[in-house]
Amino acid sequence: MPNPTDSPESQRDQQPQVEIDHSPKPAHATTGSSTTPRSRLTKSTNRTPKLVANGSRALVWYILALVIVIIDQWTKWLAETKLTFHDPVPVIEPFLNWTLAYNYGAAFSFLADAGGWQKWFFSGLALLMSLFLIIYLIKAPRKATLLSFGLALVLGGAVGNLIDRLLHGHVIDFIHVHYADVWHYPIFNIADIGISIGVLLIVIDMLFLEKSVKCRSNNSKYYY
């Protein structure tokens, strides 16, 4: 108990002194019940996320490829049953005919006059390409819709023509685009249309939509 005879100045001198810690504190940002260094928090917020692959959603693109195969085989069956070999049926004069033809080679009848080995050569190429596309559709970025669409079209067309080579030894064509008797484009089929449009979409995707994103977390590159 203070002595009443003490002066106010002596009473202030007798009060306990509180020491203030002026040592530097670590810079932390509080998040919930834990603390995270600000430098680490900044890195995490600026980090570019890795995009997800198609995975099981590739089934949607497999179905699209299957639809192309079904339409292709159905139209070829109609051409075989309704048309006569190399006998054109006018559809839109003078630009479009239905003309049944057989291609023993590749595009534009490449190697069509070979001794028969080209059947297995092109069949093997088509099989390898189909397997590659099946795997690649699983790994393709989920957001790359145009790319996956193009890959599915190419897959459907490749399988459609592969079925022809294995069953008949040649590819069945029937769509004949021309201008009167002046110009004739090589006769083709639905599978060829799927492959052509698919390749075009893939090229468009590569030229205009693909962009490289460098992830700051591990300095690796991801696409789209």
Bond into 24 cis (ω within 30): no
The H-or-E segment that residue 113 falls in is none
- Burial environment of residue 221 by CB neighbours within 10 A (0 to 12, 13 to 18, 19 or more): exposed
**Distance, CA of 110 to CA of 113 (rounded, Å):** 8
Q: Comparing C-alpha atoms, which of 117, 196, 185, 184 is closest to residue 160?
A: 196
**Distance, CA of 182 to CA of 155 (rounded, Å):** 34
57 DSSP 8-state letter = G
List Cβ neighbours of 190 (8 Å cut-off, separation of 6 or more): 68, 71, 72, 75, 76, 157, 160, 175
Taking the CB of residue 18, how many other CB atoms lie within 10 A of it?
5
Strand partners, 85: 100
Residue type at 40 in one-letter notation: R
Catalytic site positions: 173, 192
Q: For residues 117 and 105, is the Cβ–Cβ distance under 8 A? A: no
